[in-house]
């Protein structure tokens, strides 16, 4: 570690500002700006490592003590980041080299949790943030009639995925949504404090700050999100209308209104964000994918480590390095039986070098097979930009980071599965309809949810949604964009948005919507680079090192250039474009439109 030299560098910079005459302070020089940002970069790198290591321990050992340690480390990092971002405005308008200006901009716009300058308020904010994260991780449903048995989120998700009993599904849905009301009041205070910090940094509110991190004006980014949603809405609507009709057939019109919203507990997922678990209910008649990947993996007695090896081998086939040995030593792949952990799958970059990890309670199924590719995408992105300076050690925008692994997962085609020996025969072209339906239930179904989570938070942060209307506004958006409704009436004593990890954990969500758009744009471009001529859903870039080299070159850019430049380097396009996802699902869309002719529109 370089803690001693880092502290010296930061103290040197601080002394400069203390002893410089007032006149000079009002007219800073380019040299001072460069000294400032270099010292800030070193300090934040050091604090980030410390906070990351403590955060890892907390996520894997949720206790009173680790929660406090994590809060203290987060508070220290947040205090430094806020102070530096505030001080950096001294250099606004100054002509400086490109790297200095970009790093200052990233410092100012990259704060996810803006804290007030007041020490007590900052500490309060970080403690609330860590405690909500912990409350979610510890969350369990303990029914009064359950004989003392409690259900974790994993237990309840299994019920949501597998049960076809609407009463049981409703009970599981309602059960999980009891974990969030206890921190509803905390969340309102969290918003208040976070907004104060954002305003002190020069932003309207925290949502305005979040939207400022996309190399465009905040209002322009909101317009861009809506533009992309409108591009994909007809595809979603077609899937929705067909799915609702099949659920009416399964459960009856008394449970699923043929002309109304789909009840949220019937779509196979706790948040109705992905519907792939109800594939058997909506599968095209007489269509078959030709294989059941979950069954194959389980019959082969595949273990968690082998699941990860499949993902690693894909990246290696593109010419990338093997995962470091420390990855295998330090990652969490299975849920421990003896303690609470945050099971939500995540990738970690602890030292911005080689200490990368994943934390995931792996289940042996097709969903986690893809999720592993997604998380390793984060890891390989981190490895690619490890040589960049601290402020550039990130993706071009946060949607890029989420998209890379999913881009690889799009290459998990029947042809690929045959190449690695998981299936013996590639299904014929007739199977494409089933394959596309299965994937659409995952990706297309997700799009409105990916959009509305932050749309809700932007309005919460701006004050358009008041604390007294949190739940009503949440369900208004879910009805408008997803076309779903809760299984029973909800009230403002509930806090259903908080039953989603990313709200409790203060993780911006627009990145996931963007990632869903970008992964198809990336996939189309990489397939074009590979010279592939067939249907886009049958293209796999597995074992294509030339394509891998092009991908690696973009990853290595990190955040050093605005995201349109990174996008253009990979795709030849400098604008996000949802036509790629439309192209990918075109055969399915045509079939859905035929099925929906006599059905009520959404």
pLDDT digits (tens, 9 = 90+) for 214-254: 999 999 999 999 999 999 999 999 999 999 999 999 999 99
Whether 329 has a pLDDT exceeding 80, the answer reads yes
d(CA 285, CA 556): 45
419-431 pLDDT, tens digit each: 999 999 888 877 8
* DSSP tag of 302: -
Whether 290 has a pLDDT exceeding 90, the answer reads no
How many helices, marked H, and strands, marked E, lie in the chain? Answer: 27, 6
Q: For the whole model, what pTM was predicted?
A: 0.87
Give the pLDDT of residue 205. Answer: 97
105-152 pLDDT, tens digit each: 999 988 899 999 899 999 999 999 989 988 998 899 999 887 789 999
559-583 pLDDT, tens digit each: 999 999 999 999 999 999 999 999 9
Whether 203 has a pLDDT exceeding 60, the answer reads yes
Structure tokens at 369: 């097979």
CB 542 within 8 A of CB 409: no
Give the pLDDT of residue 520. Answer: 98
583-594 pLDDT, tens digit each: 999 999 999 999
Q: What is the mean pLDDT of residues 19-48?
A: 80
Q: What is the distance, to the nearest Å, from the Cα of residue 115 to the centroid of all Cα atoms in its chain?
A: 23
The number of beta carbons lying within 10 Å of the beta carbon of residue 17 is 15
CB 313 within 8 A of CB 323: no
Q: Which of 114-128, 347-361, 389-403 has the lowest mean pLDDT?
A: 347-361
The sign of the CA dihedral 369, 374, 379, 381 is positive
DSSP 3-state of 506: coil
Whether 498 has a pLDDT exceeding 90, the answer reads yes
User: Between the CA atoms of 436, 485, 363 and 423, what dihedral angle is there, to the nearest 10 degrees?
Assistant: -10
* DSSP tag of 332: B
* Residue 32 banded pLDDT, cuts 50, 70, 90: very high
251-275 pLDDT, tens digit each: 999 999 999 999 999 999 999 999 9
Whether 49 has a pLDDT exceeding 90, the answer reads no
Give the pLDDT of residue 285. Answer: 87
Would you name the residues annotated as active-site residues?
375, 502
Q: Which residues contact 4 (CB under 8 A, 6 or more apart)?
A: none
Structure tokens at 528: 């074009």
Whether 530 has a pLDDT exceeding 50, the answer reads yes
Better-predicted residue by pLDDT, 96 or 291: 96
Give the pLDDT of residue 25. Answer: 53
Give the pLDDT of residue 55. Answer: 86
Q: What is the mean pLDDT of residues 192-206?
A: 95
- For the chain, what are the domain ranges? 3-130, 134-187+218-289+445-510, 293-427+517-580
* Residue 338 banded pLDDT, cuts 50, 70, 90: confident
Mean of the per-residue pLDDT values of the chain: 91
Looking at the chain, the whole-number percentage of residues with pLDDT higher than 90 is 75
Whether 315 has a pLDDT exceeding 90, the answer reads yes
C-alpha distance from residue 142 to each of 8, 136, 181, 578 (Å)? 53, 15, 15, 43
Give the pLDDT of residue 79. Answer: 85
The sign of the CA dihedral 473, 476, 480, 482 is positive
Q: Which residue has 């196979």 as its token pair?
A: 268
Give the pLDDT of residue 282. Answer: 96
Give the pLDDT of residue 188. Answer: 98
Better-predicted residue by pLDDT, 389 or 352: 389
């Amino acid at each position: 570690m370089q803690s001693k030299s880092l502290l010296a560098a930061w103290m040197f910079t601080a002394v400069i500002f203390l002893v410089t005459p007032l006149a000079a302070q009002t007219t800073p020089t380019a040299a001072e700006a460069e000294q400032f940002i270099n010292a800030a970069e070193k300090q934040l790198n050091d604090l980030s490592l410390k906070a990351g290591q403590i955060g890892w321990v907390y996520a894997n050992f949720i206790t009173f003590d680790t929660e406090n340690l994590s809060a203290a480390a987060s508070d220290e990092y947040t205090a430094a980041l806020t102070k530096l971002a505030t001080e950096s405005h001294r250099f606004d308008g100054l002509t400086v080299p490109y790297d200095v200006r970009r790093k200052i901009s990233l410092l100012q716009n990259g704060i996810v949790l803006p804290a007030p300058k007041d020490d007590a308020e900052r500490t309060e904010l970080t403690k609330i943030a860590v405690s909500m994260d912990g409350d979610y991780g510890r969350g369990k449903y303990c029914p009064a009639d359950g004989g003392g048995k409690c259900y974790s989120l994993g237990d309840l998700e299994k019920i949501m995925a597998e049960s076809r009993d609407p009463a049981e599904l409703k009970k599981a849905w309602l059960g999980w949504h009891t974990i969030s009301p206890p921190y509803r009041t905390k969340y309102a205070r969290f918003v208040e404090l976070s907004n104060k910090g954002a305003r002190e940094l020069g932003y309207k509110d925290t949502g305005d700050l979040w939207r400022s991190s996309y190399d465009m004006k905040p209002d322009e980014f909101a317009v861009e999100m809506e533009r992309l949603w409108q591009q994909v809405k007809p595809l979603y609507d077609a899937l929705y209308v067909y799915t609702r009709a099949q659920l009416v057939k399964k459960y009856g019109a008394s449970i699923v209104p043929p002309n109304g919203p789909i009840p949220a507990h019937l779509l196979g997922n706790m948040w109705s964000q992905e519907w792939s678990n109800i594939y058997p209910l909506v599968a095209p008649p007489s269509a078959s994918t030709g294989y059941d990947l979950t069954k194959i993996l389980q019959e082969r007695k595949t273990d968690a480590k082998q699941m990860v090896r499949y993902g690693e081998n894909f990246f290696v086939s593109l010419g990338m390095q093997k995962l470091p040995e420390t990855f295998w030593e330090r990652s969490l792949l299975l849920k421990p039986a003896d303690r609470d952990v945050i099971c939500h799958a995540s990738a970690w970059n602890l030292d911005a070098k080689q200490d990368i990890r994943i934390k995931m309670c792996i289940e042996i199924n097709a969903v986690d097979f893809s999720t592993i590719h997604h998380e390793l995408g984060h890891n390989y992105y981190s490895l690619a930009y490890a040589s960049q300076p601290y402020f550039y050690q990130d993706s071009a925008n946060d949607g890029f980071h989420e998209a890379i692994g999913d881009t690889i997962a799009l290459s998990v085609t029947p042809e690929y599965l045959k190449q690695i020996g998981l299936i013996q025969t590639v299904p014929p072209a007739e199977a494409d309809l089933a394959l596309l339906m299965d994937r659409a239930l995952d990706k297309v179904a997700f799009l409105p949810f990916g959009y509305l989570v932050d749309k809700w938070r932007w309005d919460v942060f701006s004050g358009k949604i008041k604390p007294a209307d949190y739940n009503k506004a949440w369900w208004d958006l879910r009805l408008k964009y997803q076309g779903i409704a809760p299984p029973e009436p909800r009230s403002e004593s509930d806090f259903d948005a908080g039953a989603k990890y990313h709200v409790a954990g203060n993780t911006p969500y627009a990145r996931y919507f963007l990632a869903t758009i970008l992964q198809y744009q990336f996939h189309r471009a990489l397939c074009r680079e590979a010279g592939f001529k067939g249907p886009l859903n049958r293209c796999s870039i597995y074992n294509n090192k030339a394509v891998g080299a092009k991908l690696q070159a973009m990853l290595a850019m990190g955040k050093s250039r605005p995201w349109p430049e990174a996008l253009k380097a990979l795709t030849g396009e400098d604008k996000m474009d949802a036509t790629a996802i439309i192209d990918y699902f075109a055969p399915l869309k045509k079939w859905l439109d035929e099925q929906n002719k006599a059905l009520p529109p959404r």
